[in-house]
Structure 1
Amino acid sequence: MGAGAVPALAVGALPATATAASLPTLNSVPPELKVIDTAMRKYIAERGIKSAQIAVARRGKILMAVGYGRYAVVNPDTGAALGQMPVRPTTLFRIASLSKHITSAAVMRLVQDGKLKLSDPVTTLLGLSATADPRLKQVTVLRLMQNLGGWDREVSKDPLWLDHTIASTLKVPLPIGHDAIIRYVTARPLDFAPGSKMVYSNYGYMLLGRIIARVSGMSYEAYVQRKLLAPVGITRMRLGRSLQTEISSREVDYQSGYTTKTVVDASGKVVPFPYGGFNMPNQDANGGWVGSAVDLVKFGMVFDGPGPVLNATSIGRLLAKPETGVTASGSWYGGGWWVRSNGTGLNTWHNGSMPGTYTFVARVQNGVSYCALFNRRAEEGTPEFESIDPVLGRAVGAVTRWPTTDLTPRFF
């Protein structure tokens, strides 16, 4: 067997009509939190989701961690189906843009250690030319973190999803890498003046990943694993891969009805969108991590107060209001989190979405946090997924008594 091969599985095929909502869970649900399990089951049944997870924590303790459904495993050498595995609380999912607060925490750790300043310009840090637009010199680390950098994906399109265009324009072969994406974008003018408004930018976070690697002297992945994840006991998380034959048997398969031309080679082959329709290694700092819901609620505790990763000053600067971009509802984009004052503190949340993936994480009042992960997202003709925010918000709000048993030692 190859390096990533797994043995044949002694589990039966999942019936075509089965969904995660109709299958048993791998963990018991505390009676006090049954309302959350019920809400999850209804949500995933309505959408025909095959694989899902949820984890709930409160005041530093993981109180609920559930895997729903099963997922397909293939032989990495041949691509042949080996069978189905049950989703466990530690099964890995692509987390998409839940990667962004991880990247922002890495930036703040470098600032905390005196290796970087939030005011440093990206042109200096990465040696970028501002010939195409002198305003590029005004793009700082902080503005990248707060999505104030000057790129609007509705105007110029998201360069993280323009592999064929970039390869053709630069006359370079597929697959392209970060350097090609940066060359392509830097040769074009910004869409707006840096700092003048907030526009969500995957590209800005991709640049933060390159800054982290350049300043730390490590790869982006290695820095995050050593300086952020290891200190809080998280060992499962890693950067994802593009193809189903490249992932381990501990990671779910991703479901989508869409196909597209592959970007991982020049074959022109039409592939399922989640497997070669985009380049996962290029998504790293903006959306490339894989992990479990328990990993995400555990990492969210980094922002609860001073600890082995960030001090109070770093947390405060990461979540602070930006120079512009506060919405009518009073929320703003901090470092990889949407943020809003709840009167006594801050609520933070974020969703993630890419073909075959939808994710959501929130940290709310009373020290409660929760994360839900799914192996598909909304597509044409299917129900929306954004309502997971109010669905879980109502369920958490309906809890009248919280369990005290800490499940953390089971997973870390």
Structure 2
Amino acid sequence: MHSSSIARVWTEAASGRKVDAEFVSSADGKVLVQMKGGGKVSIDLVRLAPEDRSYVEERVKSSAKPAAAAASKVEDFFEDTPKLKAEEIPASGEERPDLATVDAAIRNFMVEKGIGAVTFALSKNGKILHDRAFGWADPKLKEPLKPGVKMRVASMTKPVVMAAIKTLITDGKLKAEDLVFPLLELGQFQESKGCDERWQKVTIQNLLDHKGGWDRDVSGDFTGLTTQMCEMYDVKLNELTPEHMLRFGLTRKLDFAPGERYAYCNYGYIVLVRVIEKVSGQKFMDYLHATVAKTSGAESFSASASDARDRQAGEVWYSYHPEYTKPEVPLRFRTDARDGAGILACTAADYCRFLENYSVLGNQRKPGAKYRGSFAGSHPGVTAICSQRVDGINYAIICNRRGVGSTDWNGDLRKVVDAELEKVAAGL
């Protein structure tokens, strides 16, 4: 059973009759809703339209811990990492002498920043040439980390979302110029009443290009206002969903007209995942595995959970110090609810497999064509970078810590790695 109040328009499958009511709970093939007048009504799920049944299924699923979580004993870390020495940091995976200086640069970076776990993979011409893990599999720094562990890639989720959207466009199921508001039927939500009228002009392309109209440098990144969202929807932190994020965004005034200019926007990619689910009729991760991940051979692509207790087995621990200096369960930063902006976890090798098949702009790569591009991810517990070089080399590096709420470490890491890689790239 799941219980949480959230309003929506429900549709009876047979008659098409619609009713505006709040979802309360679901159990035993029925859904309990609260009418506007205050009364509660129990409805057989089979009477509802497919999208309503899918909605209820997702609400029930979001309240349950993943089955694999019970097997996971990973604990996140909220203390400062002990002083590290490069020579004491364990490394696993087959070593390549020609990449020894790159590996050393990563170890030195770990020492400088106090990072306890890093994975690094490098590929070329469709083959993984290097797949290594540095550091430890536990915050007590006892067990060496092994290649193949899944780590969050934060905003490096976005190129994967782009690839999924462009797959729908290529398949003729979506157009870049499609308007988001009617496509998602956002008028069904009460928050749409009186919302900024410019919302009606936002297109799929605007969201892909970070030109939807929201500027975090002007109004802040409202996807981080989790406490305010919980108060608005009367839910607990661990009950916050991407739909809450979507609807909360309807209450925010746009900072500029859609398409007018570029402003990096996490919210737009949360909305894009709603588009993927609406158009494909599948949950995001299901669609991803049937398309982009299948094409790439990236079997480890999965959705991370905000809290260690809910996380799948096989995913790394995260260090939240200094952003969080004491344990918080549930964590205020909700990875789950910000799905399109940074939910993906995977191995470094699988991210390279993605880069072998798609550009960082989400376009499927053409045989023989040269690509140059890079992307980075940064949120609490994550510093991640990737690169596609014109010489055919791709790499992904994922760390389990970042600095105080900034992306500075991404640039620092890229600088030291690229400097060493440039010296040996011609021989790879």
Deviation at 1:86, TM superposition (A): 2.4
1:133 to 190, 196, 199: 196
Superposition map of 1:211-290 within 5 A = 211-258=275-322, 272=327, 276-290=331-345
Deviation at 1:381, TM superposition (A): 12
Structure 2 residue 398 is the aligned partner of structure 1 residue 373: yes
Tell me the equivalent position of 1:295.
350
2:377 to 337, 341, 352: 352
Structure 2 residue 202 is the aligned partner of structure 1 residue 113: no
Structure 2 residue 268 is the aligned partner of structure 1 residue 204: yes
1:86 to 144, 156, 160: 144
Task: Judge conservation of contact 1:32–1:399 (CA < 8 Å) in 2.
Answer: yes
For residues 96 and 3 of structure 1, what CA distance do their matches in structure 2 show?
22
CA 8–239 in structure 1, closer or farther in 2 if over 3 Å, else same: closer
CA deviations 1:129-168 (Å, max 9, x no partner) are: 4642222122111110110100011222222211111232
Aligned pair count reads 348
For residues 418 and 115 of structure 2, what CA distance do their matches in structure 1 show?
20
For residues 310 and 169 of structure 1, what CA distance do their matches in structure 2 show?
41
For residues 107 and 52 of structure 1, what CA distance do their matches in structure 2 show?
30
For residues 381 and 150 of structure 1, what CA distance do their matches in structure 2 show?
23
Structure 2 residue 414 is the aligned partner of structure 1 residue 389: yes
Deviation at 1:58, TM superposition (A): 1.7
Tell me the equivalent position of 2:423.
398
TM-score of the superposed pair, with normalisation by structure 2: 0.74
CA 358–272 in structure 1, closer or farther in 2 if over 3 Å, else same: farther
Of stretches 145-154 and 274-283 in structure 1, the one that deviates more from structure 2 is 274-283
For residues 379 and 106 of structure 1, what CA distance do their matches in structure 2 show?
32
Of stretches 179-188 and 141-150 in structure 1, the one that deviates more from structure 2 is 179-188
Q: Which amino acid aligns with 2:295?
A: P
1:144 to 188, 202, 207: 207
For residues 240 and 425 of structure 2, what CA distance do their matches in structure 1 show?
52
Deviation at 1:195, TM superposition (A): 0.9
CA deviations 1:169-199 (Å, max 9, x no partner) are: 4555543222222222212321111111110
Tell me the equivalent position of 1:43.
109
2:221 to 150, 158, 170: 158
Structure 1 unmatched ranges of 5 or more: 10-14, 74-80, 261-269, 316-343, 404-412
For residues 185 and 108 of structure 1, what CA distance do their matches in structure 2 show?
24
CA 400–182 in structure 1, closer or farther in 2 if over 3 Å, else same: closer
For residues 191 and 87 of structure 1, what CA distance do their matches in structure 2 show?
44
Task: Judge conservation of contact 2:370–2:391 (CA < 8 Å) in 1.
Answer: no
CA deviations 1:300-327 (Å, max 9, x no partner) are: 111269xxx9475xx9xxxxxxxxxxxx
Superposition map of 1:169-208 within 5 A = 169-174=232-237, 175-208=239-272
Task: Judge conservation of contact 2:89–2:107 (CA < 8 Å) in 1.
Answer: no
Q: Which amino acid aligns with 2:200?
A: K
Tell me the equivalent position of 1:4.
69
Task: Judge conservation of contact 1:54–1:372 (CA < 8 Å) in 2.
Answer: yes
Tell me the equivalent position of 1:97.
155
Structure 2 residue 188 is the aligned partner of structure 1 residue 123: no
Q: Which amino acid aligns with 1:52?
A: V
Deviation at 1:4, TM superposition (A): 3.1
CA 88–3 in structure 1, closer or farther in 2 if over 3 Å, else same: closer
Structure 2 unmatched ranges of 5 or more: 1-66, 75-80
Deviation at 1:256, TM superposition (A): 2.0
TM-score of the superposed pair, with normalisation by structure 1: 0.76
For residues 151 and 294 of structure 2, what CA distance do their matches in structure 1 show?
19
Q: Which amino acid aligns with 1:282?
A: A
Task: Judge conservation of contact 1:20–1:49 (CA < 8 Å) in 2.
Answer: no
Deviation at 1:84, TM superposition (A): 4.7
Q: Which amino acid aligns with 2:110?
A: I
CA 353–193 in structure 1, closer or farther in 2 if over 3 Å, else same: same
Q: Which amino acid aligns with 1:110?
A: L
1:69 to 132, 135, 140: 135
CA 22–155 in structure 1, closer or farther in 2 if over 3 Å, else same: same
For residues 93 and 125 of structure 1, what CA distance do their matches in structure 2 show?
33
For residues 82 and 199 of structure 2, what CA distance do their matches in structure 1 show?
52
**Secondary structure at 1:38 match in 2:** helix
Task: Judge conservation of contact 1:242–1:274 (CA < 8 Å) in 2.
Answer: no
Cα RMSD (Å) of the superposition? Answer: 3.1
**Secondary structure at 1:281 match in 2:** coil
CA deviations 1:37-81 (Å, max 9, x no partner) are: 1221221121121100111112222111110011228xxxxxxx9
Of stretches 247-256 and 100-109 in structure 1, the one that deviates more from structure 2 is 247-256
Q: Which amino acid aligns with 1:137?
A: Q
Of stretches 390-399 and 126-135 in structure 1, the one that deviates more from structure 2 is 126-135
CA deviations 1:271-330 (Å, max 9, x no partner) are: 63696121121121110011111111111111269xxx9475xx9xxxxxxxxxxxxxxx
CA 139–8 in structure 1, closer or farther in 2 if over 3 Å, else same: closer
